[in-house]
Structure 1
Protein backbone atom coordinates (compact mmCIF):
# COMPACT_ATOMS: atom_id res chain seq x y z
CA UNK A 1 0.00 0.00 0.00
CA UNK A 2 2.92 2.28 -0.62
CA UNK A 3 3.68 2.75 3.07
CA UNK A 4 0.26 4.30 3.73
CA UNK A 5 -2.15 2.91 6.29
CA UNK A 6 -5.70 2.16 5.13
CA UNK A 7 -8.31 4.74 6.01
CA UNK A 8 -11.24 2.29 5.97
CA UNK A 9 -11.41 -1.44 6.66
CA UNK A 10 -14.34 -3.85 6.28
CA UNK A 11 -14.20 -7.27 7.97
CA UNK A 12 -16.58 -9.86 9.34
CA UNK A 13 -17.60 -9.70 13.02
CA UNK A 14 -14.33 -11.02 14.42
CA UNK A 15 -13.79 -8.88 17.51
CA UNK A 16 -10.19 -10.07 17.96
CA UNK A 17 -9.55 -8.67 14.47
CA UNK A 18 -11.15 -5.42 15.61
CA UNK A 19 -8.66 -5.21 18.48
CA UNK A 20 -5.73 -5.88 16.13
CA UNK A 21 -6.91 -3.29 13.63
CA UNK A 22 -7.33 -0.69 16.39
CA UNK A 23 -3.78 -1.39 17.55
CA UNK A 24 -2.07 -1.50 14.14
CA UNK A 25 -4.23 1.08 12.30
CA UNK A 26 -5.56 3.36 15.05
CA UNK A 27 -6.80 6.02 12.60
CA UNK A 28 -8.65 3.61 10.29
CA UNK A 29 -12.42 3.39 10.36
CA UNK A 30 -13.32 -0.26 10.87
CA UNK A 31 -16.77 -1.50 10.06
CA UNK A 32 -18.31 -4.91 9.85
CA UNK A 33 -19.65 -6.43 6.68
CA UNK A 34 -23.40 -5.89 6.55
CA UNK A 35 -23.85 -9.12 4.60
CA UNK A 36 -22.25 -11.17 7.37
CA UNK A 37 -24.29 -9.39 10.05
CA UNK A 38 -27.58 -9.98 8.26
CA UNK A 39 -26.67 -13.57 7.39
CA UNK A 40 -25.88 -14.40 11.01
CA UNK A 41 -28.95 -12.56 12.34
CA UNK A 42 -31.08 -14.26 9.68
CA UNK A 43 -30.59 -17.58 11.44
CA UNK A 44 -32.86 -16.35 14.22
CA UNK A 45 -34.67 -13.45 12.56
CA UNK A 46 -35.60 -15.32 9.36
CA UNK A 47 -38.48 -17.31 10.86
CA UNK A 48 -39.47 -14.34 13.03
CA UNK A 49 -39.58 -12.01 10.01
CA UNK A 50 -41.51 -14.64 8.04
CA UNK A 51 -44.23 -14.41 10.69
CA UNK A 52 -44.00 -10.59 10.77
CA UNK A 53 -43.49 -9.35 7.17
CA UNK A 54 -44.36 -5.75 8.10
CA UNK A 55 -41.59 -5.76 10.71
CA UNK A 56 -39.15 -7.17 8.16
CA UNK A 57 -39.98 -4.36 5.74
CA UNK A 58 -39.63 -1.75 8.52
CA UNK A 59 -36.25 -3.26 9.47
CA UNK A 60 -34.94 -3.05 5.89
CA UNK A 61 -36.24 0.50 5.44
CA UNK A 62 -34.65 1.59 8.70
CA UNK A 63 -31.25 0.06 7.96
CA UNK A 64 -31.02 0.66 4.22
CA UNK A 65 -32.70 4.04 3.84
CA UNK A 66 -31.61 6.06 6.87
CA UNK A 67 -29.22 8.74 5.67
CA UNK A 68 -28.21 10.06 9.07
CA UNK A 69 -27.57 8.53 12.48
CA UNK A 70 -30.47 10.56 13.88
CA UNK A 71 -32.83 9.26 11.19
CA UNK A 72 -31.72 5.69 11.87
CA UNK A 73 -32.18 6.10 15.63
CA UNK A 74 -35.70 7.53 15.18
CA UNK A 75 -36.66 4.81 12.70
CA UNK A 76 -35.25 2.03 14.86
CA UNK A 77 -37.02 3.27 17.98
CA UNK A 78 -40.30 3.63 16.08
CA UNK A 79 -39.91 0.11 14.64
CA UNK A 80 -39.22 -1.44 18.06
CA UNK A 81 -42.17 0.37 19.66
CA UNK A 82 -44.60 -0.15 16.79
CA UNK A 83 -44.02 -3.91 16.63
CA UNK A 84 -43.48 -4.34 20.39
CA UNK A 85 -40.19 -6.23 19.98
CA UNK A 86 -38.27 -4.70 22.88
CA UNK A 87 -37.50 -8.19 24.21
CA UNK A 88 -36.09 -9.63 20.98
CA UNK A 89 -32.48 -10.49 21.83
CA UNK A 90 -31.26 -10.56 18.23
CA UNK A 91 -32.66 -7.11 17.43
CA UNK A 92 -31.22 -5.78 20.70
CA UNK A 93 -27.81 -7.24 19.82
CA UNK A 94 -27.94 -5.75 16.32
CA UNK A 95 -28.84 -2.37 17.77
CA UNK A 96 -25.96 -2.58 20.23
CA UNK A 97 -23.50 -3.10 17.36
CA UNK A 98 -25.18 -0.64 14.95
CA UNK A 99 -22.20 1.71 14.75
CA UNK A 100 -20.20 -1.12 13.17
CA UNK A 101 -22.58 -2.14 10.38
CA UNK A 102 -25.44 0.33 9.74
CA UNK A 103 -24.58 2.48 6.67
CA UNK A 104 -25.86 5.71 8.28
CA UNK A 105 -22.91 5.55 10.68
CA UNK A 106 -20.46 5.60 7.75
CA UNK A 107 -21.86 8.32 5.53
CA UNK A 108 -18.91 10.60 6.37
CA UNK A 109 -16.40 7.94 5.24
CA UNK A 110 -15.43 6.92 1.74
CA UNK A 111 -16.75 3.38 1.65
CA UNK A 112 -17.91 1.99 -1.66
CA UNK A 113 -20.23 -0.16 0.47
CA UNK A 114 -18.61 -3.30 -0.76
CA UNK A 115 -18.66 -6.48 1.22
CA UNK A 116 -15.66 -8.43 2.39
CA UNK A 117 -13.63 -10.10 -0.35
CA UNK A 118 -15.37 -13.47 -0.32
CA UNK A 119 -18.77 -11.83 -0.75
CA UNK A 120 -17.91 -9.28 -3.42
CA UNK A 121 -17.23 -11.61 -6.32
CA UNK A 122 -20.39 -10.52 -8.14
CA UNK A 123 -19.41 -6.87 -7.92
CA UNK A 124 -15.87 -7.70 -9.01
CA UNK A 125 -17.22 -9.33 -12.16
CA UNK A 126 -19.18 -6.18 -12.99
CA UNK A 127 -16.22 -3.93 -12.17
CA UNK A 128 -13.90 -5.90 -14.47
CA UNK A 129 -16.06 -4.86 -17.43
CA UNK A 130 -15.04 -1.24 -16.83
CA UNK A 131 -11.56 -1.39 -15.29
CA UNK A 132 -8.22 -2.74 -16.39
CA UNK A 133 -4.88 -2.37 -14.60
CA UNK A 134 -3.95 0.50 -16.94
CA UNK A 135 -7.03 2.61 -16.12
CA UNK A 136 -6.84 5.65 -13.89
CA UNK A 137 -9.58 6.49 -11.39
CA UNK A 138 -10.49 9.52 -13.50
CA UNK A 139 -10.81 7.37 -16.61
CA UNK A 140 -12.99 4.88 -14.71
CA UNK A 141 -15.31 7.61 -13.45
CA UNK A 142 -15.58 9.22 -16.88
CA UNK A 143 -16.14 5.93 -18.76
CA UNK A 144 -18.70 4.50 -16.32
CA UNK A 145 -20.65 7.78 -16.28
CA UNK A 146 -21.04 7.63 -20.06
CA UNK A 147 -22.60 4.11 -20.03
Structure 2
Protein backbone atom coordinates (compact mmCIF):
# COMPACT_ATOMS: atom_id res chain seq x y z
CA UNK A 1 0.00 0.00 0.00
CA UNK A 2 2.87 2.36 0.87
CA UNK A 3 4.49 1.66 -2.50
CA UNK A 4 1.23 2.45 -4.28
CA UNK A 5 0.87 5.77 -2.41
CA UNK A 6 4.52 6.63 -3.12
CA UNK A 7 4.05 5.80 -6.81
CA UNK A 8 0.92 7.99 -6.98
CA UNK A 9 2.75 10.87 -5.24
CA UNK A 10 5.68 10.64 -7.68
CA UNK A 11 3.28 10.54 -10.65
CA UNK A 12 1.37 13.56 -9.30
CA UNK A 13 4.56 15.60 -8.79
CA UNK A 14 5.86 14.67 -12.24
CA UNK A 15 2.61 15.70 -13.95
CA UNK A 16 2.28 19.00 -12.13
CA UNK A 17 5.55 20.41 -13.45
CA UNK A 18 5.32 23.20 -16.00
CA UNK A 19 7.38 23.48 -19.14
CA UNK A 20 8.83 26.61 -20.73
CA UNK A 21 6.51 29.48 -21.69
CA UNK A 22 5.26 29.23 -25.28
CA UNK A 23 5.58 31.91 -27.97
CA UNK A 24 3.54 35.12 -27.82
CA UNK A 25 0.15 34.81 -29.57
CA UNK A 26 -1.12 37.22 -32.23
CA UNK A 27 -2.36 40.59 -30.99
CA UNK A 28 -6.10 40.68 -30.31
CA UNK A 29 -8.46 43.22 -31.80
CA UNK A 30 -10.18 45.56 -29.41
CA UNK A 31 -13.93 45.05 -29.27
CA UNK A 32 -15.89 48.21 -29.89
CA UNK A 33 -19.27 48.95 -28.33
CA UNK A 34 -22.01 51.46 -29.14
CA UNK A 35 -24.93 51.91 -26.73
CA UNK A 36 -27.94 53.92 -27.85
CA UNK A 37 -31.06 54.81 -25.87
CA UNK A 38 -34.24 55.74 -27.70
CA UNK A 39 -37.48 57.07 -26.22
CA UNK A 40 -40.69 57.04 -28.24
CA UNK A 41 -43.48 59.16 -26.78
CA UNK A 42 -47.00 57.76 -26.84
CA UNK A 43 -48.11 60.34 -29.43
CA UNK A 44 -45.13 59.62 -31.74
CA UNK A 45 -45.89 55.98 -32.56
CA UNK A 46 -47.06 55.70 -36.20
CA UNK A 47 -49.92 53.24 -36.63
CA UNK A 48 -50.74 51.20 -39.73
CA UNK A 49 -53.25 48.52 -40.60
CA UNK A 50 -52.07 45.06 -41.71
CA UNK A 51 -53.76 42.95 -44.40
CA UNK A 52 -55.33 40.93 -41.57
CA UNK A 53 -56.95 44.07 -40.14
CA UNK A 54 -54.62 44.35 -37.15
CA UNK A 55 -53.22 47.69 -36.00
CA UNK A 56 -49.43 47.81 -35.68
CA UNK A 57 -47.08 50.61 -34.68
CA UNK A 58 -43.63 51.69 -35.73
CA UNK A 59 -41.18 54.53 -35.21
CA UNK A 60 -37.91 55.19 -37.06
CA UNK A 61 -35.02 57.20 -35.62
CA UNK A 62 -32.37 58.72 -37.85
CA UNK A 63 -29.10 57.96 -36.07
CA UNK A 64 -25.85 58.83 -37.81
CA UNK A 65 -24.00 57.00 -35.02
CA UNK A 66 -25.09 53.67 -36.49
CA UNK A 67 -22.31 53.04 -38.98
CA UNK A 68 -21.96 50.50 -41.77
CA UNK A 69 -19.35 48.64 -39.66
CA UNK A 70 -22.05 47.84 -37.08
CA UNK A 71 -24.39 46.62 -39.78
CA UNK A 72 -21.89 44.44 -41.64
CA UNK A 73 -19.65 43.10 -38.87
CA UNK A 74 -21.60 43.72 -35.69
CA UNK A 75 -24.07 42.17 -33.34
CA UNK A 76 -27.00 44.15 -31.94
CA UNK A 77 -28.98 43.32 -28.81
CA UNK A 78 -32.07 45.33 -27.93
CA UNK A 79 -33.85 45.92 -24.64
CA UNK A 80 -37.11 47.52 -23.57
CA UNK A 81 -37.41 49.35 -20.26
CA UNK A 82 -40.52 48.45 -18.28
CA UNK A 83 -41.87 49.77 -15.00
CA UNK A 84 -43.64 47.32 -12.71
CA UNK A 85 -46.49 48.15 -10.32
CA UNK A 86 -44.04 49.34 -7.65
CA UNK A 87 -42.28 51.81 -10.01
CA UNK A 88 -39.22 49.57 -10.28
CA UNK A 89 -37.49 49.75 -13.63
CA UNK A 90 -36.99 46.45 -15.45
CA UNK A 91 -34.90 45.84 -18.55
CA UNK A 92 -36.22 43.04 -20.79
CA UNK A 93 -34.51 41.75 -23.96
CA UNK A 94 -36.13 42.17 -27.36
CA UNK A 95 -38.12 40.65 -28.86
CA UNK A 96 -40.55 41.17 -25.99
CA UNK A 97 -44.16 39.95 -25.89
CA UNK A 98 -46.86 41.55 -23.78
CA UNK A 99 -50.37 40.18 -23.16
CA UNK A 100 -53.32 42.51 -22.57
CA UNK A 101 -57.07 42.96 -23.07
CA UNK A 102 -57.92 45.18 -26.07
CA UNK A 103 -60.72 47.73 -26.49
CA UNK A 104 -63.14 44.97 -27.56
CA UNK A 105 -62.43 42.89 -24.43
CA UNK A 106 -60.36 40.34 -26.38
CA UNK A 107 -57.13 38.84 -25.01
CA UNK A 108 -54.31 40.03 -27.28
CA UNK A 109 -50.55 40.19 -27.58
CA UNK A 110 -48.12 42.89 -28.62
CA UNK A 111 -44.68 41.91 -29.91
CA UNK A 112 -41.93 44.53 -29.58
CA UNK A 113 -39.02 44.24 -32.02
CA UNK A 114 -36.38 46.39 -33.70
CA UNK A 115 -34.28 46.51 -36.83
CA UNK A 116 -31.52 48.79 -38.05
CA UNK A 117 -29.43 49.79 -41.01
CA UNK A 118 -26.62 52.31 -41.38
CA UNK A 119 -28.00 55.68 -40.31
CA UNK A 120 -31.30 54.55 -38.79
CA UNK A 121 -33.00 52.27 -36.30
CA UNK A 122 -36.69 51.31 -36.16
CA UNK A 123 -38.84 49.94 -33.36
CA UNK A 124 -42.04 48.02 -34.02
CA UNK A 125 -45.08 46.81 -32.12
CA UNK A 126 -46.96 44.04 -33.88
CA UNK A 127 -50.38 43.25 -32.46
CA UNK A 128 -53.10 40.70 -33.08
CA UNK A 129 -55.89 43.19 -32.46
CA UNK A 130 -57.99 45.57 -34.53
CA UNK A 131 -58.46 47.71 -31.39
CA UNK A 132 -55.14 47.57 -29.52
CA UNK A 133 -54.34 49.76 -26.58
CA UNK A 134 -52.39 52.91 -27.43
CA UNK A 135 -48.67 52.28 -26.85
CA UNK A 136 -47.26 54.18 -23.89
CA UNK A 137 -44.11 56.27 -23.95
CA UNK A 138 -41.44 53.60 -24.25
CA UNK A 139 -37.66 53.63 -23.89
CA UNK A 140 -35.43 51.14 -25.64
CA UNK A 141 -31.71 50.46 -25.40
CA UNK A 142 -29.63 48.88 -28.16
CA UNK A 143 -26.09 47.62 -27.58
CA UNK A 144 -23.98 47.02 -30.68
CA UNK A 145 -20.58 45.35 -30.70
CA UNK A 146 -18.21 44.81 -33.59
Using structure 1 for the length normalisation, give the TM-score: 0.24
Q: Which has the larger radius of gyration?
A: 2
More strand by share: 2
More helix by share: 1
Using structure 2 for the length normalisation, give the TM-score: 0.24
